[in-house]
Amino acid sequence: MKKPPQKKASSKNATQASILANALLVLLGLVVVLTCGCSDYNKIMKSTDLDYKYERALNFLDSNKCFGALPLLEEIVSLSRGTERAIDASFYRAKAHECVGDFYLARYHFKTFAKTFPNDSRAEPAQFQAAICSYKLSPKASLDQTETKAAVNEFQLFMDRYPMTFYRDSCQKYVDELRYKMEVKSYESAKLYHRTQQFKSAVIAFENALKDFPDTPFRDEIQWLIVDSYFQYAEMSTERRKLERYNDTIEAFLTFVARYPESSYMNQAQAVHEKSIKAIENLEENQTIE
């Protein structure tokens, strides 16, 4: 059976953007009431004076009434293409989307602004704000970390593009925070395999965690859990495979001792090591008798 066709990422993003845009339009009714009243807002929308609309849009932004600014800025961008006003409105449109918490569209518009107007003095801040939007889209460590990886890539891309940027220290701080979240996710996912007695998968997940994050603060615990996972896997194995897997446990223990001789998990690891040696001796004796 053929796999169903995969939709392109751009199509998915466009759908998300469309849903968010529609949500904004629904909320606009509430904003009209909360900003300046229905009749006043209608007068602004019906006006043909773009300068007046632009001024009012900026007033809405300054007053943190960003939902009111969005329709005005969208119209100004559309009706003043090719002018300096369109460039300004494009930048503030991105800021308005960020202000209302629509970080998907804010990221898109900030990146588009930086790409379309690379010589504008706001191109660098816009690219930085795009990365900030990705940072804000990163979920807590227990959830899928796709957006977290995207945020790390955004900051790294920004630092590559602007190596002397004023924002470099801030970027590195955000990257460190995001990478730690990914470390926690990797560590917790591997521990879940261990807790649910999927010990073979646990070993693979723990080893991948150490490979991806060699400086993780959980590294000695992870190395100990690799030892324990090998041991538990051996205990659950058939007689035919026990000898091989107890030997894997001993090899993992020796790696643990070499890397973390002062670990607080050493006593537990030594106990597992002794049990593995005893189990191997018993297996070899049984094989001799047979």
Q: What is the pLDDT of residues 178-195, one digit of tens each?
A: 999 999 999 999 999 999
Of 153, 177, 196, the domain-final residue: 196
Q: Which two tokens stand for residue 74?
A: 């969208």
Check pLDDT > 50 for residue 3: no
Q: Are 209 and 216 in contact (CB under 8 A)?
A: yes
CA geometry: angle at 105 spanning 103 and 109, to 5°? Answer: 115
Check pLDDT > 90 for residue 37: no
Do 234 and 256 share a structural domain?
yes
Identify the pLDDT of residue 2.
39
Is the full-model pTM beyond 0.85?
no
- Which domain, by its residues, includes 242? 197-289
Identify the pLDDT of residue 16.
54
Q: What is the pLDDT of residues 124-154, one digit of tens each?
A: 999 999 999 999 999 999 999 999 999 999 9
Higher pLDDT residue, 33 or 65?
65
> What residue has token string 């094989």?
287
| Structural domain count, the chain | 3
Check pLDDT > 70 for residue 230: yes
Of 168, 196, 224, the domain-final residue: 196
Q: Which of 125, 28, 112, 105 is nearest to 72 (CA)?
A: 28
Identify the pLDDT of residue 13.
52
* Size of the chain, expressed as the number of residues it contains: 290
Decide if 155 is inside a domain: yes
CA geometry: angle at 216 spanning 158 and 140, to 5°? Answer: 65
> What residue has token string 């896997």?
233
Which of 21-30, 60-69, 110-119 is least confident?
21-30
Q: Which of 141, 151, 145 is nearest to 174 (CA)?
A: 151
Do 148 and 95 share a structural domain?
no
Decide if 36 is inside a domain: yes
Q: How many CB atoms lie within 10 A of CB 73?
A: 27
Q: At 56, phi and psi to the nearest 5?
A: -70, -35
